Amino acid sequence: MAVDHAAKLQSLIKRLGTSADAETPMSPRFLCKPDESMTDPVCDELIWAYLVWEAGEKRAGALAAKLCETFVDLNEFRVCLTSELTSFFGQTYPRSAERSDRMRATLNDIYNREHEVNLKKLTSINKREAKAYLDSLEGIPPYVVNRTFLLGLGGHAFPLDDRLLKFLAAENAIAEDESIDSGASWLERQIRSGDAAPAFIAIEKWAANKRASTSRSTTKKKSKKVTKKPSSKSKSG
C-alpha cells in the first residue's frame, strides 16, 4: 500500500504544533557592539541560514557567537581566504570547506552589487524580484535562499537540506527519493503560505531535538565498556 506522505506530513506538523517564534520579531544575531548590528535584518537572516544549513541551530548558535567575537564586521569576514574561513568553522563543522567557499562567494557577490554587505533593498521590491535576487547570488544553497525568503522577507517557501530531508523521510512525511529542490517544492505546495513559517520553525526545533537525542544515544553506546571479572585462581601450597 502506497504511503500518503502528505497526510503523514500534516500529522507531524499537527503533533509538533506551531511555533510562536514565527510571530516574534527576530533580534539581530550578529553584532559589532552590544547595540550595533553588523547588517540589516534580511542579511542577518541569510548569514544565520548559512550557519544552520546542514548543521542545525544548536551548532550554529555557538558559531554565531564565535563570529561576533572574531570579526569586527562582515567585511572583515568576507575578505578572508576560503582556507581561513574553513579554519574558523573547524574540521568538525559539517561541510566546512564547502560552506566557506559558498559563503565567501555569496557575501562578495552582495558587496559587488550593493557596495556593502547589506540586503535592505530587498524589502523595497516585490517578493518575486526579491526571490529572484536571492536565487541569483553566487554559491548560495537552496536552503539559505528559502530560509531567508521565508523568515527574512515573509515570502512563501520551505527551506530543506539533507539533514531535514532525512528526518522527514524517516517519518514518511516526504518521499525518501526526493531531491532537495523537488522536496522543497513539494513541501511548499503542501503547506499554506501563512502556515509555512511556524511549521518550518517547529520542524527545525524537532529536528534539533531528534539529533541531540541520537547523539546522546550514540555517546552512551560508545561509553559502555565490557568488563571482565577478575579470575580467582587459588594458589596451592
- pLDDT value of residue 95: 97
Residue pair 131/156 in contact (Cβ under 8 Å)? The answer is no
Instruction: Say if 79 falls within a structural domain.
Output: yes
Residue 166: closest CA among 155, 156, 180? 180
Q: How many domains does the chain have?
A: 1
Look up the pTM and report it: 0.86
- pLDDT value of residue 181: 96
- pLDDT value of residue 212: 63
- Backbone torsions φ then ψ of 37, nearest 5 degrees: -75, 150
The residues that bridge with 33 in the sheet, in sequence order, are 36
Instruction: Say if 221 falls within a structural domain.
Output: no
Instruction: Say if 224 falls within a structural domain.
Output: no
Residue 39: closest CA among 157, 120, 104, 95? 120
| Domain encompassing residue 36 | 5-209
Instruction: Say if 201 falls within a structural domain.
Output: yes
Cα angle, residue 94 at apex, residues 91 and 98 outer, rounded to 5°: 85
- pLDDT value of residue 158: 98
Measured between alpha carbons, how far is 50 from 47 in angstroms, rounded to an integer? 5
Provide the grid cell at 80. Answer: 578572508
Instruction: Say if 218 falls within a structural domain.
Output: no
208-214, long-range: CB < 8 A, 24+ apart: 208/56, 208/57, 208/58, 210/167, 211/56, 211/58, 211/163, 211/167, 212/58
Instruction: Say if 226 falls within a structural domain.
Output: no
Amino acid at position 86, single letter? T
Q: For the chain, how big is the Rg over CA atoms in Å?
A: 22
Residue-level pLDDT, tens digit, the chain, 237 residues: 789 999 999 999 999 987 656 555 677 899 888 889 999 999 999 999 999 999 999 999 999 999 999 999 999 999 999 999 999 999 999 999 999 999 999 999 999 999 999 999 999 999 999 999 999 999 999 999 999 999 999 999 999 999 999 999 999 999 999 999 999 999 999 999 999 999 999 999 999 988 766 655 444 555 554 444 454 444 444
- pLDDT value of residue 37: 92
- pLDDT value of residue 210: 82
In our burial notation (b when 16+ CB lie closer than 10 A, e otherwise), range 189-207 reads: ebbeeeebbbbbbbbbebb
The residues that bridge with 37 in the sheet, in sequence order, are 31
Instruction: Say if 232 falls within a structural domain.
Output: no
CATH code where residue 148 lies: 1.10.340.30
